[in-house]
Amino acid sequence: MNRRIVSLLMTLILIPVTLAAIPVVVTWEWTLDDPQVTTFRYQIGGEDPSKWIVVNANQTSYTVEGLDGTKSYSLYLQQSYDGVNFSGSAVATAEPLEVAAEPAVSAAPVTPVAEAPAPVAQAPKAAETAPAAQEPAKTAAPVTKAAEPAKETAPAEPAKTAQPAAKPAAQPAKTAVAKNTEPTDNVFNFTLGLFGGIDYTLSSTKVTTHSLNIASGLSLGFNNIAHFGKMSGVGLTMDVLYEPYAVDSYKNVFKSSFWSDGLKHQLGASAFVDYDLTTKQFALQFGAGAFAMYPISSDAFSTDNLLYGISARIAAEYMFNSRLYAGLEGCYRYYLGPSAVKNAQTIRANLMVGVRF
């Protein structure tokens, strides 16, 4: 009988200990409300520089299994446009579960049972032995029954409520990101693009034999190097150019002589200081700078063949997503030398495609 009582006491003590260590699954979720965001990073419990978990912008949730349901856990979340500079942290906390104590945990019914065997041990009379032996048996039965409700409360029902309790706690991260980051559109970015277009000569002094010529090249952009406000900035654009031009009539384009002697080539470069206006999907640039061109031939290099001058540009770009863009560009040139082309003017219309980093 004493063993049953001790076993019952151990069961009643172990039940609240088990409930106090319920493992839970916690899920934090957030939203991507800015298409230019490329990177998130997060960690639980603080902002240790060595503990950040970095993911791309496609991941908008984080789940951890096996956490202690009696403790609270805070997720620190930051976002970035370039994967280098991150915003301030948004914090969402999953609160601990509150497990109510069950009535079966009370040891009150156990106290009378523990004292019940005493009359049995002190029963000296044989006539009273039978009744005395039966009394503890009668009182022991309710204690055994009382132990049954304790077992019924043992299943970890609060573990089923762990998911609803944890998820609402993580929801503030959805609004906290927008409040804490305060993103602007004129962040520094680097662009790499290709362009192709047509040159047209405005002045009577010809730069080439024909008024119309084609051009193509590679463009490097450093946008919003210095920025002010939420949309404005100053950047730098550099172009490497290839401009073939014909000295023979285009009527002879299907003749071999046109390609061997009638088509010439020149390479060049230009640089512009830009004023940038940027929104989430559009960018507008106004630039001013200089250019230089040199014909490719078998002759020895001579500065007399170097064409140079000042130039200006205007460009409009449309962002298909946070990386890919396409746009139109217009360029103006004013030639300062050499003397053969001095004061000549040309304009060029370009079609651009590229990638933003």
| Spatial contact of 57 and 32, defined as CB atoms under 8 Å apart | yes
Q: State pLDDT tens for residues 94-117.
A: 888 765 544 444 444 444 444 434
User: Cα dist. 286→1, 185, 199, 237, 350 in Å?
Assistant: 95, 17, 19, 10, 15
CATH number for domain 1-182, candidates 3.20.20.150, 3.60.20.10, 2.40.128.20, 2.60.40.10: 2.60.40.10
Domain with CATH 2.60.40.10 in the chain: 1-182
Question: Boundaries of CATH 2.40.160.20 in the chain?
Answer: 189-356
| Cβ–Cβ < 8 Å for 147, 10 | no
User: 39-91: per-residue pLDDT in tens?
Assistant: 999 999 999 999 999 999 989 999 998 888 888 899 999 999 988 999 999 99
Does 31 score more than 70 pLDDT? Answer: yes
142 phi/psi in degrees, rounded to 5: -60, -35
Sheet holding 90-94, edge to edge: 53-56, 39-44, 73-80, 90-94
pLDDT of 149 over the 90 cut: no
pTM of the predicted model over 0.85 = no
- Structure confidence at residue 183 as a pLDDT band (50, 70, 90): low
pLDDT tens per residue, range 226-266: 988 888 999 999 999 999 988 888 888 888 888 888 888 89
Angle at which helix 172-181 crosses helix 162-170, to 10 degrees, equals: 20
CATH architecture type of domain 189-356: Beta Barrel (2.40)
